């Protein structure tokens, strides 16, 4: 039986996924860079697809909306944390 709770995304995980896709990584590499389990990664991908940030099935890619969101999210994380999102992990 699956749990049916609300999905609350971690913005650091979203940033790592979007940055991996912006770097041209495939699904496998993006999953590894996300820092979460593969099943959780798939939840994030579905979440990002529903909002129009990511497109594709086997070959994931950023949409123009996703590229713009990535740039804004990176700038916000840099401003708040003082570091690149690629280097940060939630503690």
DSSP letter at 66?
A: H
Q: Is 5 helix (H, G, I), strand (E, B) or coil?
A: coil
| Model confidence pLDDT, tens digit, residues 21-56 | 999 999 999 999 999 999 999 999 999 999 999 999
Q: What is the reported pLDDT for 66?
A: 97
Domains and CATH numbers, the chain: 11-81 (1.10.10.10)
Q: Look over the chain and give the mean of its residue pLDDT values, rounded to a whole number.
A: 88
Decide: residue 5, CB within 10 A, 0-12 exposed, 13-18 middle, 19+ buried. Answer: exposed
Beta strand 61-62 pairing with 54-55:
antiparallel
User: How far is it, in rounded angstroms, from Cα 16 to Cα 74?
Assistant: 10
Average pLDDT in the 80-85 region? 80
């Amino acid at each position: 039986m699956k749990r049916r709770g609300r999905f609350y995304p971690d913005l650091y995980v979203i940033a790592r996924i979007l940055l991996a896709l912006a770097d041209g990584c495939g699904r496998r590499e993006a999953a590894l860079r996300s820092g979460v389990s593969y099943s959780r990664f798939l939840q994030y991908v579905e979440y990002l697809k529903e909002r129009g940030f990511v497109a594709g099935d086997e070959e994931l890619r950023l949409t123009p909306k996703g590229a713009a969101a990535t740039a804004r999210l990176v700038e916000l994380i840099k401003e708040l944390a003082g570091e690149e999102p690629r280097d940060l992990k939630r503690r």
